[in-house]
A and B are shown apart, each in its own frame.
Chain A
Amino acid sequence: MSDIPLVLPAFVCIPLVAAFLLPILGSFGRKGRVVATALANLAALSLLAMSIASTNQFSVYNVGRWSIPLGINMVLDGFSALFLITVNLVSSAALLFSVRYMEQYTAKPKYLSLFMLMVAGMNGVVLTGDLFNLFVFLEVASIASYALVGFGCDDEQLEASFKYMVLGEVGSMFILLAIGLVYGATGMLNMAYISKAIQNNPTNVVLCFALALFIAGFGLKAALVPFHAWLPDAHSSAPAPISAMLSGILIKVLGVYALVRTIFSIFGISTTVGTLLVVLGVVNMVTGAFLAIGQGDLKRLLAYSSISQVGYIFLGIGLGGALLAAGASPVWASLAILGGLFHLLNHAVSKSLLFLTSGSVEMAAGTRQLDQLGGLAEKLPLTRASCAVASASIVGIPPFGGFWSKLILVIAAIGAGVYWAAALIVAVSVCTLIMYLKVHRYVFLGELSETRQQIKESRGSMAVAMICLACLCVFLGLVFLAPALRAELLEPAAKVLCDGVGYADKIMEFSKDMIVCAD
């Protein structure tokens, strides 16, 4: 245990140092840019290695040795570890992909710097144990993502970036107001202490209002359906690796993680909130799926599909939460949460892979309109294969990860007696199947147009990134057959949510015997 506490700030520190070192290196000509790119990849890989090493542990780190509630602490538990792995996995793949993909843009060091800032922000959101600190990291990640969406400075990218930024800022202001209300009501900013204060005074009107604001604010960041308008624009306009980051992890970290952490660990889940999450999840699933089928733009289709898949995650977690609050069937509750979290991991990997393949298609064919594409199967065999694997995983075809996570969700829903939810999960999966068949039909099958006889398969780092993620899609399907992996990664995460507000006790227990330097 002795060396682990050192690791926690490093998750924020490494990308932050990289973010500010890279532009300096990049300003020294071409060689400097090559070194900067290599360094960025190295940083991402080391973060990945560290996050894999940090699974299934519990640790609290007091920044600057100020004991809580005076100081800021960083908390690593099962739930954070799951998100850390997801974030660093997808970000290292996306960064590898962008080594080659971003050659078509200028100012690559700035891109790398913003990318690293985004990773730093997301790692910080996942690790922090302080509510205001969460807001700061959330803003770091969001501002970097606003800039990255508009990175190309084309008409559409600027428009999407502006839309994303306005809605994102409104969400951030809701969150900040909610944090202010919580601080006013409890006098604390540390999550564990707030949680304790809320347990002592559960029916405070101000706190209920703050919870509503939190749901609205984080819901905006997660693109829950009434607030989803920015997502298809932003995710389809950004450069492909950034779309992969946004769809794969940013909406999950800033939206799902922050919302679930706030609801489960701070406020404590209640039946009302659990049901609300289920309803939001179902609405997201259905709306996203129906809107996606009608899209003519490849990346827009994928973006709407993200809205739909986030619905699954909220359905699983909300169902589990509602069951936990009712106290009826803890087994099914934990199974539902497990399914939701596993689906989150699967979706992060497969959707980022799909966005990377869309980038590869766009780079080769020069367009992403479905009706102008066709017959690319021969020319882009690797892209086609990885797209097929990712689609299979996201639709839920047996050997892949998506099948198992959806199966768990269905079993949990049936076990809990919520038959309509189980039926909806299957029905929306059929819609998902239709939309991905459409993608394959229009992009890879059919006639290859005369003008595209010369196009080439993407090579180098782009190919490596796609192959890695495709292998991961297959591998995630096997996770459930190997109980050791499940026990390492998913079960601790589900257990944290099942414990709910037990989070506070755990942190206080852990930090009781730490050195206190404040008077």
Chain B
Amino acid sequence: MKGMTIIVKTISSWVKLLIFLFGIYIVLFGHLTPGGGFAGGVIIASSYVLLMLAFGREFVEKNLSLTASSRLDCVGALMFVAIALVGMFYGAASFFWNFIHQQYLADRATEFKLVSAGIIPLCNIAIGLKVGASLFLVIFALSVFCNDFRCKGSARELM
């Protein structure tokens, strides 16, 4: 997998940034507009998948190594649990308690107020991290499997 033609490479190196930014936008505005952590995470992962298709797997691995992405994956999940746990120890509240809720009932889901939905944007960020990293890992792992097999298959044919 050495990548595609120069046209695809050039276009995708421009487009990848836009896709990545769009993913971040979807994550951050998940509490106001349709979307959220999962959808945003998928878009972020897809920007890396585009890179993988255009430039080949090795190029992407240089940018975002497997260990790093699996750590990011775990950090995302841990962040989510941590947010839930903070709610638990915040005053006499409970698990998943929306602890940034002072303004919550007064002006819920107002534009230009990021914390208007309490912990939901924070949760979205955590989920976006988790989904982005894990989906990237899934596609990466599948491509590794296929590639291994193709090498073995051609070796078998040669023999």
Please list the residues of chain A having a beta carbon within 8 angstroms of any beta carbon in chain B.
Answer: 5-6, 9, 13, 16-17, 19-21, 23-24, 27, 61-65, 519
Instruction: Say yes or no: A65-B97 contact (C-beta < 8 A), given A6-B88, A21-B74, A24-B74.
Output: yes
Report 21 cross-chain contacts, Cβ distance below 8 Å, ordered by A residue. Answer: A9-B88, A9-B94, A9-B96, A13-B85, A13-B95, A16-B77, A16-B81, A20-B74, A20-B77, A20-B78, A21-B74, A24-B71, A27-B67, A27-B71, A62-B94, A63-B94, A64-B94, A64-B95, A64-B96, A64-B97, A65-B93
Instruction: Say yes or no: A64-B81 contact (C-beta < 8 A), given A23-B70, A27-B70.
Output: no
Known contacts A9-B96, A13-B81, A19-B77; 4 additional CB pairs below 8 A are A9-B88, A17-B78, A17-B81, A23-B71
Tell me the bound Cα distance from A21 to B94 in angstroms.
Answer: 23
Tell me the bound Cα distance from A61 to B71 in angstroms.
Answer: 32
Sort chain B's interface into a size bin. Answer: 10 to 19
Main secondary structure of the interface of A (DSSP, over half): helix
Shortest distance from the beta carbon of B74 to any chain A beta carbon, whole Å:
4
Top 8 nearest A-B pairs (CB, nearest first) are A64-B96, A9-B95, A20-B77, A20-B74, A24-B74, A20-B78, A65-B94, A63-B96
> Chain B residues with Cβ under 8 A from A27's Cβ?
67, 70-71
> Chain A residues with Cβ under 8 A from B85's Cβ?
13
Shortest distance from the beta carbon of B129 to any chain A beta carbon, whole Å:
12
Q: Which of B92-123 contact A (CB under 8 A)?
A: 93-98, 105
Q: Is B84 an interface residue (CB 8 A)?
A: yes
Tell me the bound Cα distance from A27 to B97 in angstroms.
Answer: 32
Shortest distance from the beta carbon of B148 to any chain A beta carbon, whole Å:
12
Shortest distance from the beta carbon of B122 to any chain A beta carbon, whole Å:
14
Tell me the bound Cα distance from A139 to B85 in angstroms.
Answer: 23
Q: Is B87 an interface residue (CB 8 A)?
A: yes
Q: Is B75 an interface residue (CB 8 A)?
A: yes
Chain A's closest residue to B72 (CB) is: A24
> Chain B residues with Cβ under 8 A from A64's Cβ?
87, 94-98
> Chain B residues with Cβ under 8 A from A6's Cβ?
88
Please list the residues of chain B having a beta carbon within 8 angstroms of any beta carbon in chain A.
Answer: 67, 70-71, 74-75, 77-78, 81, 84-85, 87-88, 93-98, 105
Tell me the bound Cα distance from A64 to B94 in angstroms.
Answer: 6
> Chain B residues with Cβ under 8 A from A17's Cβ?
78, 81
> Chain A residues with Cβ under 8 A from B93's Cβ?
65
Chain A's closest residue to B87 (CB) is: A64
Tell me the bound Cα distance from A9 to B93 in angstroms.
Answer: 13
> Chain B residues with Cβ under 8 A from A62's Cβ?
94
Chain B's closest residue to A2 (CB) is: B92
- CB-based contact A61/B95 at 8 Å: yes
> Chain A residues with Cβ under 8 A from B97's Cβ?
64-65
> Chain A residues with Cβ under 8 A from B87's Cβ?
64
- CB-based contact B105/A519 at 8 Å: yes
Chain B's closest residue to A25 (CB) is: B74
Shortest distance from the beta carbon of B120 to any chain A beta carbon, whole Å:
11
Tell me the bound Cα distance from A62 to B81 in angstroms.
Answer: 17
Tell me the bound Cα distance from A6 to B88 in angstroms.
Answer: 8
> Chain A residues with Cβ under 8 A from B95's Cβ?
9, 13, 61, 63-64
> Chain A residues with Cβ under 8 A from B94's Cβ?
5, 9, 61-65
Chain B's closest residue to A71 (CB) is: B96
Shortest distance from the beta carbon of A110 to any chain B beta carbon, whole Å:
9
